[in-house]
Amino acid sequence: MATERTPSPTPPAKGVRTRSPASGRVAFSAGTHPHTDIYVVNADGSALERLTSDPGAEFDPSWSPDGKRIAFRYQPGGDETADVHVINADGSGRKNLTRNAAMDYSPAWSPDGSQIAFASSRSGRFPTIWVMNRDGSNPRRVGTVDGEYPAWSPDGRRIAFDHQTFAATGWDVWVMNADGSRAKPLVKTRANDQGPAWSPDGKSIAFGSALDAEPGYDHVWTIGADGSRPRRVTERYGDRPVWSPDGEFLLFQAGGLYIVRRDGSRVTQVPIRGLGETTFPDWTG
């Protein structure tokens, strides 16, 4: 439930372009678990930088809205050792924000940068969604539904998250108000549905789904924020999508990192070599 997930296998090279018109800066984790680190790179694959080098696992990066800081999950041992750390975009100023005996992970900055949502097991056996101030103060649980990998709506009023059903379907995407009220399923299919990401205009949510995929694989889908118009975006496999700052592209993991237009056309690979698996991307302007 809280461990680093294995990405879908790398899609075939056929039909994948080598250059993308997208711009911005991408944070991601790379390496072989439990020895993963946080890296940043331009969307075209240039200016690659490594920000962490601890022997433990560092992943789940999340950009602050101003692009100056990155929150991420640091896990020196098993799942129970997970904490939320933050670091400046140049690799300086690292700080542990949670320092809790429970699992604290999958951080997500609020749109105004004042708060960080995250998943924590401190309230029971299963993780629930919590919110803290950006300096780690005033952590509080929001809602009563268990979940992980929260994602804020652009207006800061709602949070989408992964909810485990404990049934054959496994995971669904739920949405609730930022105070935890009115939690309800947004994506509920016969397959695993995970990793929600709001479009910059707040009208759509991208996610990974095993619907219509071979066992062990996912595709990238989008759905209206009101639950309408579900649409499969990728022909090949991939999951953990995030939007470009302008909302025209989606970045996803599939062994490597790939960029696709929101209509599913023009797939390009972010050219990163020699780092092992590249996972959990996030994108800033």
Tokens at 93, concatenated = 């100023």
Q: State yes or no: pLDDT of 40 exceeds 50.
A: yes
Amino acid, single-letter form, for residue 229: R
Task: Report the topology of domain 101-284.
Answer: Neuraminidase (2.120.10)
Residues 256, 270 contacting (CB under 8 angstroms) = yes
pLDDT in tens, 96-125: 999 989 999 999 999 999 999 999 999 888
Q: State yes or no: pLDDT of 4 exceeds 90.
A: no
pLDDT band at residue 189 under the 50/70/90 scheme: confident
State the pTM of this model.
0.92
Residue ranges per structural domain of the chain:
101-284
Q: How far apart are the C-alpha atoms of 196 and 173, rounded to whole Å?
A: 7
Q: What is the pLDDT of residue 18?
A: 56
CA 65 to chain CA mean position, Å: 15
